[in-house]
Amino acid sequence: MKSNKHRFHRWLALLPLSLVLFLSGCSGITVLDPKGPVAESQKDLIIFSLWFMLGIVVVVFAVFTYVVVKYRDRANRNDKDYDPNLHGNTTIEVIWTVIPLIIVIALSVPTVETLFDLEKPPVSSEEKEPLVVYATSADWKWFFSYPEQGIETVNYLHIPTDRAIEFRLSSADSMAALWIPALGGQKYNMAGMENILYLQADEQGVYDGRNSNFNGEGFAAQTFKVHAESPKEFKDWVKETQASAPELTQDKYNALLKPGLTGKTAFSSTHLEWVHHGTNDGRDYAIKRHEEAYEEHLHLDNEMLQDKADGHSNKNEGHE
């Protein structure tokens, strides 16, 4: 039994070690392998806090192992180091209250700084105006409207690199959250409210984006790809979409809003012309039009989801 206990401690001591090992190979872990300044600042904050946490874990585990091994009840234990009435020591109690307090202050300062920074576009692209994209969630799809370009995409997103993207988040119905872990943290999409989220990609590539906030049966399928490309490629893509994509009519938009899964599409106009779900007027637009549809089940299972993913990758290539 005592040998068991030892094995337990050795095993526990491995935990922080495994953490270090995992982190050293962190290029594979999305949040710790940022592709833009926002995710970068969040990663820095996480790593900064992680050192403190590792320190705490190492100290507590070391003290724990020491006392549990040293003060176990064993046959030849002498009673000199047994003090059943020891019940306080002001000095040490003050020390272990003050140290955590100092750690909390040390963590609060960069947290608050980063919080205020995240409310503004990243410093690295200050000289350029942010690109405004309205990201609207509807059960269980994404609409991305580019008002300046006059285009709208469904379930995929193109952005230029080295320029801040000002996402204006809202939802046509249930609450969702726009999360592109490679580019930065999430914020909620809510009907009747508008949240602003700044993200930016510094590296070209295709990144995973999704709704991270559970909102019903089709939740797992509410994902999209982010195509971060050079400003020139982005411009070309915009031009091509403006030229070749059909116009978005209100009827078409209303049909797309119906709860369910849809593929990727693009349009050469935006739904903002007749409704903005982030305003109080637009909050019940979808639910008034599709009231009965929310009762229907999708019967979504793994096979369906795989089919959907396969089917769509080649269906709309023209517009991507």
Partner 1 sequence: MRLDEFFVTGEPLIYAGMVSIALVTSAALFLLTYFKKWGWLWREWLTTVDHKKIGIMYILAALAMLFRGGVDALMMRVQLAFPDMNFLDAQHYDEIFTTHGTVMIIFMAMPFLIGLMNIIVPLQIGARDFAFPYVNALSFWSFMFGAMLFNISFVIGGSPDAGWTSYTPLAGAAMSPGPGQNFYLLGLQLSGIGTLATGINLMVTILKMRAPGMKLFQMPIFTWSTLVTCFIIVFAFPILTVALALMTIDRIFGSQFFTLTGEGLPMMWANLFWMWGHPEVYIVILPAFGIFSEVIATFAKKRLFGYNAMVWSMILIAGLSFLVWVHHFFTMGAGAFVNSVFSISTMLIAVPTGVKIFNWLATLYKAKIKFSVAMMWALAFIPSFVIGGVTGVMLGMAAADYQFHNSYFLVAHFHYVLIAGTVFACFAGLVFWYPKMFGHKLNERLGKWSFWFFVIGFHVCFFPQYFLGLDGMPRRIFITNIAEWLPLNIISTVGAFGMGAGFAIFVFNIYYSYRYSEREKTGDSWDGRTLEWATPTPVPYYNFATVPYVDKYDAFLAMKEKGETTYDEERLEPIHMPSYTGQPFIMMGFLFIASFALVFEWIPLAILGLAGGLIMMIVRSFDYDEGYYVEVDEIKRIERKARGL
Site for partner 1 in 81-140 (CB under 8 A): 81-89, 92-93, 96-97, 100-101, 103-104, 107-108, 111-112, 114-116, 118-119, 139
CB of 131 vs partner 1, minimal distance in Å: 20
Interaction residues for partner 1, span 160-189 (CB under 8 A): 169, 173-175, 177, 179, 181-182, 184-188
How far apart CA 306 and CA 304 sit, in angstroms, is 5
78 near partner 1 (CB under 8 A):
no
- Interacting positions 45-64 with partner 1 (CB under 8 A): 45-46, 49-50, 52-53, 56-57, 60-61, 63-64
- Among all chains, which residue has been given the structure tokens 């040490």? 92
Residues in 14-33 that interact with partner 1 by CB under 8 A: 15, 18, 22, 28-32
- Of the candidates 251, 195, 218, the one whose C-alpha atom is nearest the C-alpha of residue 139 is 218
**Could you tell me if 169 and 178 are in contact, meaning their C-beta atoms sit under 8 angstroms apart?**
yes
What is the total count of residues that contact partner 1 (CB under 8 A)?
Answer: 112
Q: Note the Cα 176 to chain centre separation in Å.
A: 12
Residue selected from 35, 36, 41, 266 as contacting partner 1 according to rule CB under 8 A: 41
Contact call for residues 222 and 208 (beta carbons, < 8 A): no
Q: Are 189 and 169 in contact (CB under 8 A)?
A: yes
| Backbone φ and ψ of 229, nearest 5° | -135, 170
Closest CA to 200 of 163, 145, 148: 163
Decide: is 305 part of the binding site for partner 1 (CB under 8 A).
Answer: yes
Q: Which range of residues in 75-83, 123-131, 224-232, 244-252 is near partner 1 by CB under 8 A? A: 75-83
One symbol per residue from 199 to 238: x for binding partner 1 (CB under 8 A), - otherwise; what is it? ---------x-x-xxxxxxxxx--x---------------
**Alpha carbon distance 197, 195 (integer Å):** 7
73 forms part of the interface with partner 1 (CB under 8 A): yes
238 with 153: CB under 8 angstroms?
no
Q: Does 195 engage in binding with partner 1 (CB under 8 A)?
A: yes
* Residue 6 contacts partner 1 per CB under 8 A: no
Cβ atoms of 265 and 287 closer than 8 Å: no
With beta carbons less than 8 A apart as the criterion, state whether 266 and 316 touch: yes
CB of 216 to partner 1, least distance (A): 6
Q: Does 2 interact with partner 1 (rule: CB under 8 A)?
A: yes
